[in-house]
Amino acid sequence: MDGLDTATALWWAVVASGIYHGVNPGMGWPLAVSAALMDKNRNSLFRALIALAAGHLVAMGAILFPFTALLFLAEWQREIQIFAACLVIGLGVYLLLNRRHPRILARVPPSRLALWSFLAAMAHGAGLMLVPIYLGICRTIATDPGHAAAADLMTGNAKIAVGVALAHTLAMTISGGLLAFGVYHWLGLRFLSKGWFNLDVIWALSLILVGSISLLFVHSAG
């Protein structure tokens, strides 16, 4: 698989992870449904989705941009990717062993959905899941970092970070929004109380899988 095919596959992974986060109730779409049902106003659903998307987007940026800065150290790119992959795997193992939801999420009032979304994404490692994919994209477009100016490298990677965060958040918002819209219009509050599904184990395993695939990618590329 050449660099272009690899980059395309990685961008699709960004979108797929966004859809995965969107349908996961842990990222907040049931809160949007609840807001609309309580206000008896469909516009409340859309306002809630925008707030959730804003918090999620900020969380993605907060995770990705530090790694963008690290890529200044072009000669350490492989080691940075290995570290990121191990970090993702470690978080997945931790979440697999510790099933309790962070208490701080329960203390955020419903009126602060953007803050809740930011904290939920950080606590569940949603942004961290994107790091190996993002670093893989950076690697596929890097022509010769040794001959590139550090500022140019930083600018290029920052643009990719913004693109990854936006594409992921858009996919999450559309998928979660469609699910929330359907529940609000056709299934209602009873579905939320009885049809809740828990993806905690799948979420933890997916972090481990993403990190493991990233390690294999680094090994094959090295």
What is the per-residue pLDDT for 145? 47
Which tens digits make up the pLDDT trace of 135-175?
777 776 654 444 444 445 555 677 888 888 899 999 999 99
What is the average pLDDT value for the chain, to the nearest integer? 77
What is the per-residue pLDDT for 199? 64
Tell me the mean pLDDT in the region 187-201: 61
CB count within 10 Å of CB 70 equals 16
The percent of residues above 90 in pLDDT, for the chain, comes to 11
Least confident of 10-24, 38-52, 99-113, 161-175: 99-113
What is the per-residue pLDDT for 147? 40
Can you tell me the distance from the alpha carbon of 62 to that of 152, in angstroms, rounded to the nearest whole number? Answer: 21
The percent of residues above 70 in pLDDT, for the chain, comes to 74
Can you tell me the distance from the alpha carbon of 40 to that of 184, in angstroms, rounded to the nearest whole number? Answer: 10
The crossing angle, in degrees rounded to 10, of helices 3-23 and 126-141 is 170
Which tens digits make up the pLDDT trace of 39-78?
888 888 999 999 999 999 999 988 888 887 776 665 677 7
Least confident of 12-16, 30-34, 78-82, 197-201: 197-201
99 vs 222, more confident: 99
Can you tell me the distance from the alpha carbon of 206 to that of 22, in angstroms, rounded to the nearest whole number? Answer: 15
Q: Has this prediction a pTM greater than 0.95?
A: no
Please identify which residue in the block is written with the tokens 């941009």.
65
Hey, what's the torsion of the CAs at 157, 167, 119, 54, to 10 degrees? 110
What is the per-residue pLDDT for 150? 46
Per-residue pLDDT band for 189 (boundaries 50, 70, 90) equals low
Q: Which residues of 132-146 are buried (b: 16+ CB within 10 A; e: fewer)?
A: bbbbbbbbbebeebe
Kindly report the backbone phi and psi dihedral angles of residue 110, in degrees, each rounded to the nearest multiple of 5, phi listed first.
-60, -25
Tell me the mean pLDDT in the region 7-28: 84
Tell me the mean pLDDT in the region 3-16: 78
Can you tell me the distance from the alpha carbon of 160 to that of 53, in angstroms, rounded to the nearest whole number? Answer: 19
The radius of gyration of the chain's CA atoms, rounded to the nearest angstrom, is 18
